[in-house]
Amino acid sequence: MDSDRTFIIVGAGFAGAKAAETLRAEGFEGRIALIGAEPERPYERPPLSKDYLRGEAEAKPYVHEEAFYADNRIELRPRTRVESIELSAAEVVLETGERLGYERLLLATGAEPRRVSVPGADLDGVMYLRTIADSEAIRDRIGAGSKLVTIGAGWIGAEVAASARQKGCEVTAIERASLPLERVLGPELGAIYRDIHVDHGVKMLTDTALEAFEGEATLEAVRTADGKRIDADLVVVGVGVAPRTGLAEAAGIEVDNGVVVDDRLRTSAADVFAAGDLANADHPLFGRRIRVEHWANALNQGPAAARNMLGADRPYDAVPYFFSDQYDVGMEYAGYATEWDEVVFRGAPKEREFIAFWLKDGRVLAGMNVNLWDVTDDIQALVRSQQRIERDRLADPDVPLSDLVPAGSRAAGT
């Protein structure tokens, strides 16, 4: 009977919370334990670098109302660390020594910021952004006239820089690459985002490496490898994240740039699944394993894992999606492009209203719409089709995107 079964979710973030919600929505009547190390109940992370950081959001970005968990008989256990997983006994061991047996286990422990190891890295004022507490601590320090330096101009660095400028900070961004976001978007889009930030008063130091943080007990300045010294009241380090694989690795579960899972989100261990930032998943559409560190992946992959824990046996093949808002420039990206032949633009890049498409062998790998809306479904369908698209028609704004989508390429329900 379902009521005699126990499903445990380790990681009370967005993916874990949506998985627990889905288990109940799908009719599971057994015990659900949702275990998280943070003191907060599950919340969404995108606002932490945007409106929540700027103090514009009235409430914390929780996934559910507080009563949701009790009302749905979900045993939410914040401030609780899992010490180990014992696969042979099908148990998780908490740091208190308590043991919880499971029939199915979902790992959704997410990722953590990569740290920098330079002199002064432990000074007060050197900060990272991952949690609500981090966002609140940064928010307390940004304001008109304060001097902020971001280390890294990827998504976190760029969004924090934008939010800080909107609050009146003096902002310098230090980036090892030649352009912000170059690793993800390439030089054409990186140049656009560089100009967006420069136009809003950010001092952008590219091709620049960090040497040290300076100060006695409190941060006073940032020193670069080429000898520059930048006065700073606050540094936010955004040099990427690393999946939290320690529990899985110690248990003997296969790990390779995250926890390795198949297209059903099953790990190498029986009855153990993984989802969210942690999961390096076989993707049927791309024919390879991919690990996606974005909100939509947690939103969709947590429920997909939950359904497969219940026996659905369905592949997870959602087209990756993420979004970013910086100043008055909003964007959505759909697809997965790590190498490409060319970038094709539709619209007006100079006016920052356009769609960019990443192509390889004439096929759309990904598309990003900037200040143009209601096109994501069409972009995802183009990606899903894996068919060659005529370049000139793709670039022509007078040709509706829907006319380019091959029949049968849309996901169910779109």
Tokens of 99: 């043991």
Q: Is 361 helix (H, G, I), strand (E, B) or coil?
A: coil
Q: What angle do CA 268, 253, 36 make, to 5 degrees?
A: 110
pLDDT band with cut points at 50, 70 and 90 for residue 380: very high
Model confidence over 259-309: pLDDT tens digits?
A: 999 999 999 999 999 999 999 999 999 999 999 999 999 999 999 999 999
**In this predicted structure, what is the pLDDT of residue 3?**
75
Question: Do 173 and 197 form a contact (C-beta atoms < 8 A)?
Answer: yes
Contacts of 337 (CB under 8 A, 6+ apart): 358, 360, 365, 366
pLDDT band with cut points at 50, 70 and 90 for residue 414: very low
| pLDDT over 60 (residue 1) | no
Give the start-end residues of each E strand in 296-373: 321-326, 329-335, 342-348, 353-360, 363-370
Q: Counting beta carbons within 10 angstroms of the beta carbon of residue 223, is it exposed (0 to 12), middle (13 to 18) or buried (19 or more)?
A: middle
| pLDDT over 90 (residue 406) | no
pLDDT band with cut points at 50, 70 and 90 for residue 198: very high
Tokens of 334: 């759909």
What distance in Å separates the CA atoms of residue 377 and residue 19, rounded to the nearest whole number?
Answer: 24
Model confidence over 362-372: pLDDT tens digits?
A: 999 999 999 99
Give kind and range of the element (H or E) at residue 9: strand 6-10
Over range 210-224, report the average pLDDT: 97
| pLDDT over 50 (residue 85) | yes
Say which DSSP state 388 is in: B
Q: What is the mean pLDDT of the chain?
A: 96
What distance in Å separates the CA atoms of residue 52 and residue 70, rounded to the nearest whole number?
Answer: 27
Tokens of 62: 């929780």
Neighbours of 141 (CB within 10 A): 15
Tokens of 278: 């942690």
Model confidence over 218-263: pLDDT tens digits?
A: 999 999 999 999 999 999 999 999 999 999 999 999 999 999 999 9
Evaluate the CA torsion angle 118, 121, 126, 128 in order and state its sign: positive
**In this predicted structure, what is the pLDDT of residue 144?**
86
Q: Burial code of 80-91, b = ≥16 C-beta within 10 A, e = fewer?
A: bebeebebeebb
What distance in Å separates the CA atoms of residue 237 and residue 162, rounded to the nearest whole number?
Answer: 14
Q: Is 104 helix (H, G, I), strand (E, B) or coil?
A: strand
Model confidence over 312-349: pLDDT tens digits?
A: 999 999 999 999 999 999 999 999 999 999 999 999 99
Residue among 324, 278, 323, 268 nearest 301 (CA): 278
Model confidence over 126-167: pLDDT tens digits?
A: 999 999 999 999 999 998 889 999 999 999 999 999 999 999
What distance in Å separates the CA atoms of residue 172 and residue 40, rounded to the nearest whole number?
Answer: 32
| pLDDT over 60 (residue 217) | yes
**In this predicted structure, what is the pLDDT of residue 121?**
97
Tokens of 317: 């093949």
- Tracing tokens 């009719």 back to the chain, one arrives at 27
pLDDT band with cut points at 50, 70 and 90 for residue 413: very low
| pLDDT over 90 (residue 411) | no
Q: Is 318 helix (H, G, I), strand (E, B) or coil?
A: coil
**In this predicted structure, what is the pLDDT of residue 412?**
53
Residue among 334, 330, 367, 335 nearest 352 (CA): 330
| pLDDT over 70 (residue 410) | no
